[in-house]
Structure 1
């Protein structure tokens, strides 16, 4: 299969046990789901190509969304560079570019992913590196999938830091101002919280304790009875929370349309600010 010139993939690094967290971040609870599920599903709903999760050798991963492939990092303990290479190689025959991120980005927004990937359209650019909130963000960045070979070579030579890659390819850096020049970013992620990660139990507690995103929910057909008629704003981190917020359960009788196009019953599907969810009766052909 030839590489799609305009197709973007997703690569999510599951990561192993964190010394400061005391447990793998991938399995941390996130509103009835996990951080890994949330990140993988969000990337999958944003890109138009395949999504892979890269795990450490033998790592037991939590449940993943349907259609997400798992790739094993061939050698444990070499850091994110090797994982990036494994993920890029796994999708290189189906996508020209990929958004690569770590699993511990609980506030990652599709607007950020799209902003980064749009900057990859220039043919001379090998990597789009956000420099957000004062730091370079190689684990929330865009990569040409053809970089897999170069990264593998650098790792074999002992160059394990992402900074070494920057010296060998064409990197476009996007600072805060450039990122926020995008109107969707200004509206939905004005503080660039897409790059906020979790490194300590305190980070996790603070992030988990925040109110979920505000979304719009509307019920149609038979589901619009019982005071559910009309659009309303509620706060919900997942599709299940959104359904509960209007007194519904996601079962075989109910389906949801996310932002007018994605039809799903996945209760763990992550929701973000700006999302619109329409609940329909499956029995009525919804």
Structure 2
């Protein structure tokens, strides 16, 4: 879909939600969990480390290989404390990071890439390339600090503000060079406009009704192809399917992701992880893993 951005990913797992009755991180999502989807999506989007920030003592569901975990040192201080911990954990390996919450199941790699690109391009606000600390989407009528880009060096400033009792995201923004991207600026990117015209990437699930409605939606549409020995029994032609995960895409064409089958995502990433999140516009090619396909 997009070139991998030279940036890190930070996912705030959050604790128990009073309105949900359980931690959002472990809520089921198409055979996986919301947290697995968020971390796996960033793993396929950014080139740097992906780190989950958990609440103190929080038990997390299974995570993709290579995803790191850091524990929030103080409970109850809100997302800015988690953001500070996450940025500090990756600051020695990446200059920028995309930070998101675990409850944004429609996040698209094209949205992440659009936000991160704003760090290196001139802005309409007369800020020059490289002169931005925070890239803040203002999408669907609201600021989106948990679907935003941050300089990882901000972890020190965040810690100082938290020690003073400034817990709101807006307090950080008062001390930073901020580039805001409204709907028009976001959708000026042709790739994002094509795959996420409604900016569903920023939709959060805050209530059981939100979760139920989101879970009822069909998976995103993508193209599936089968090659070699798998291109039989009516599977030869490329076709569109709706699938939220690689396992669902395989099932849609009558396949099981076992040791005999491997998938190529968008022509490069080779995998057989059935929980790998898929998004609108993806192309999945299934090949036989036996005898070179």
Q: TM-score, normalised by structure 1?
A: 0.97
SS at match of 1:120: coil
Q: Deviations over 1:118-139 (max 9, x none)?
A: 0011211000000000100000
**Count of residue pairs the alignment pairs up:** 281
- C-alpha distance in structure 1 between counterparts of 2:10 and 2:265, whole Å: 23
SS at match of 2:137: strand
Corresponding residue of 1:250: 257
Residue 288 of structure 2 is aligned to residue 281 of structure 1: yes
- C-alpha distance in structure 2 between counterparts of 1:254 and 1:136, whole Å: 43
- C-alpha distance in structure 2 between counterparts of 1:178 and 1:235, whole Å: 29
- C-alpha distance in structure 2 between counterparts of 1:7 and 1:254, whole Å: 31
The 5-angstrom pairing of residues 167-178 of structure 1 reads 167-178=174-185
- C-alpha distance in structure 2 between counterparts of 1:285 and 1:99, whole Å: 37
The 5-angstrom pairing of residues 27-176 of structure 1 reads 27-121=26-120, 122-176=129-183
- C-alpha distance in structure 1 between counterparts of 2:97 and 2:82, whole Å: 13
Gap regions ≥5 residues in structure 2: 121-128
Contact 1:216 1:274 in 2 (8 A): yes
SS at match of 1:228: coil
Contact 1:12 1:100 in 2 (8 A): yes
Corresponding residue of 1:11: 10
SS at match of 2:119: helix
Structure 1 residue 157 displacement after superposition? 0.8
Q: Deviations over 1:166-210 (max 9, x none)?
A: 010100000011000000111011011100000000000000000
Q: Deviations over 1:101-123 (max 9, x none)?
A: 00000110011000000001121
SS at match of 1:125: coil
Q: Deviations over 1:135-157 (max 9, x none)?
A: 00000000000001000110111
Structure 1 residue 82 displacement after superposition? 0.7
Corresponding residue of 2:220: 213
Structure 1 vs Structure 2 CA RMSD: 0.8
Corresponding residue of 2:125: none
- C-alpha distance in structure 2 between counterparts of 1:57 and 1:256, whole Å: 37
- C-alpha distance in structure 1 between counterparts of 2:266 and 2:6, whole Å: 21
- C-alpha distance in structure 1 between counterparts of 2:30 and 2:278, whole Å: 11
- C-alpha distance in structure 1 between counterparts of 2:36 and 2:291, whole Å: 30
Corresponding residue of 1:3: none
